[in-house]
Chain A
């Protein structure tokens, strides 16, 4: 009796030891990533909230100021421009950067020749570092010897002032952004299209559906999930637009291309106001959070 109890206590002790050892090894493996996440993801998130309610010049101790940073930012005329521009940019970039890749993928999927070449060519701009693409287009947009106005000249059309005019500046940013990003979307759609079962098209055809109706009733429902996920990803990505205004226009002319992230950057590094910048960051975080949560839900439900 006692011997048995003893033995079970002994095994209990050994099991406890094993569990402890397993946990210690597990946390050993985890430690590197845990430290990095803590320092560079979790803490900055928390710090963003703190910063946006503080006045902080990093010399004197920070002061809690309630919503002062937010009101300062609200009163800034650039604030409205930044949000409107970001929204318009996102919308336009969606129109171009979302529809065009899907149409390209549809066409490429039908072609039986030169597939490798076309895929490669579409993906070519994605391989360039974004800064290179943007600076390349800055040269193309040059109103004098720039490529675009030369092409317009060839077609006997009047040249545009592209980045220098309020009317065309934002569109110009959308064009660069679409050019350099549409490759990855196209290839993702292409892969999705190839997984659509061919029998469905045959069945639709037997029912007398023409090409457009086959696309509408077979292709789109079959790729609906990936289309939805890409839509959310695209919104999240384009709302963070920074490099285009930073390198091409500096937010000008007259705030016509200033974006939320660029304004946030300006607050912190041009005006030294990290509180205002963080307040902007926090607002953007909340907006993107909604889209991200939707994206995560979708992709988790389906993997």
Chain B
């Protein structure tokens, strides 16, 4: 395997070294990785490569796709078939009864609409307030701006889970105003704004916009709001996309917080709602509900795949 390596400069295997059996398509080296093109193009290199490729594809399909297949088809089985040992791998009928049942019995439309409302509101508030704050801190630079920035970034060190209880008490009885925000969308929307990571990402991006660009607009008589809307925002679209996706995805995935602050069955998010009904639903119906609950996120992922990947890698290291 290694007899070809190390002796020749990369990428220049002489043509005559190529045995007749070798297929014409070769591994090219667009980006050099740990393995060298030589190793991959050697006889054993190829065999091992294909063996690894096929096993990885099969293994990944088994680990990551098969559970989903099991979930989708499990919900198509009758209760009797569902409990059968050994299980049937293909359901004997493709019926959507359980799905229909889950939809009507478990109030799923209510839960989905709630979650949509929470996510949309959180997105709107987080974007409006966090962009405003980051713009002020980055470009308008008021007195005590750095202190405020430090205070906001410091919250990154305190994960929201550890202040769950005092945050719950705050929402239950908002200081000064004495409002009870439990079971209202505000309990999701406003805490979503208090996200130090959003401020960090936005401020860092705004800092990289040249001041001359803004000054040119100011000389033309544009107000700070005008500058924000017509100069800063248009060039910030990538980071706005990342922040939007983080915010929406966080609301959609969150469990502990909505579990505490939205306990009214009419106000629950889809995750909490399904979890709250887990004890008193037949397993087939429950499984159908799980499938329905995962559809929106998967659809969103398909639409925004590129942005999500970009956000994951470029947007920072949030994970």
Contact = CB atoms under 8 A, between A and B. Distances in A.
Nearest to A123: B301
B163 A32 contact: no
B122 to A, nearest CB: 11
A107 B52 contact: yes
If over half of A's interface residues share one DSSP class (helix, strand or loop), that class is named, otherwise mixed; here it is: helix
B57 to A, nearest CB: 6
A274 B170 CA distance: 13
Nearest to A138: B278
A281 B256 CA distance: 14
A48 B163 contact: yes
Interface string B271-282: 110110010000
Interface stretch (A5-13, A72-80, A163-171, A291-299): A291-299
Interface string A125-137: 1011111100110
A210 interface: yes
A272 to B, nearest CB: 12
Contacts of A125: 64
Interface in A1-49: 22-23, 25-30, 32-34, 36-37, 39-45, 47-48
A30 B142 contact: yes
B262 interface: no
Contacts, number: 300
Contacts of A150: 85-87
Contact of A44 (B2, B34, B148, B170): B170
Nearest to B299: A127
Contacts of A246: 255-256, 259
A228 to B, nearest CB: 10
B60 interface: yes
Contact of A296 (B128, B157, B294): B157
Interface residues of A, number: 108
Contacts of B27: 112
B190 A40 contact: yes
B5 A140 contact: no
A48 B166 contact: yes
A285 B158 contact: yes
A211 B36 CA distance: 9
A129 B133 contact: no
B73 to A, nearest CB: 12
Given A30-B136, A281-B162, A36 B193 contact: yes
Interface of A: 22-23, 25-30, 32-34, 36-37, 39-45, 47-48, 51, 106-114, 117-118, 121-125, 127-132, 135-136, 138-140, 144-145, 147, 150, 153-154, 179, 184-185, 187-188, 191, 193-194, 198-199, 201-202, 205-206, 208, 210-211, 214-215, 218-219, 226, 229-230, 233-234, 236-237, 240, 242-243, 246-247, 261, 264-265, 268-269, 274, 277-278, 281-282, 284-285, 288-289, 292-293, 296, 299, 303
13 contacts: A34-B133, A37-B193, A45-B163, A48-B166, A112-B49, A136-B287, A150-B87, A210-B2, A211-B34, A240-B159, A240-B161, A243-B256, A278-B165
Given A29-B133, A40-B170, A110-B52, 11 more contacts: A25-B140, A29-B140, A30-B137, A37-B194, A44-B169, A107-B52, A127-B298, A129-B252, A201-B34, A230-B317, A281-B162
Interface of B: 2, 5-6, 10, 27, 29, 31-36, 40, 49, 52-53, 56-57, 60-61, 63-65, 67-68, 70-71, 74, 82-87, 125, 128-130, 132-133, 135-137, 140-143, 145, 148, 151-153, 155-159, 161-171, 174-175, 190-191, 193-194, 196, 199, 204, 224, 228, 252-253, 255-256, 259-260, 270-272, 274-275, 278, 283, 286-287, 290, 293-294, 297-298, 301, 309, 312-313, 316-319
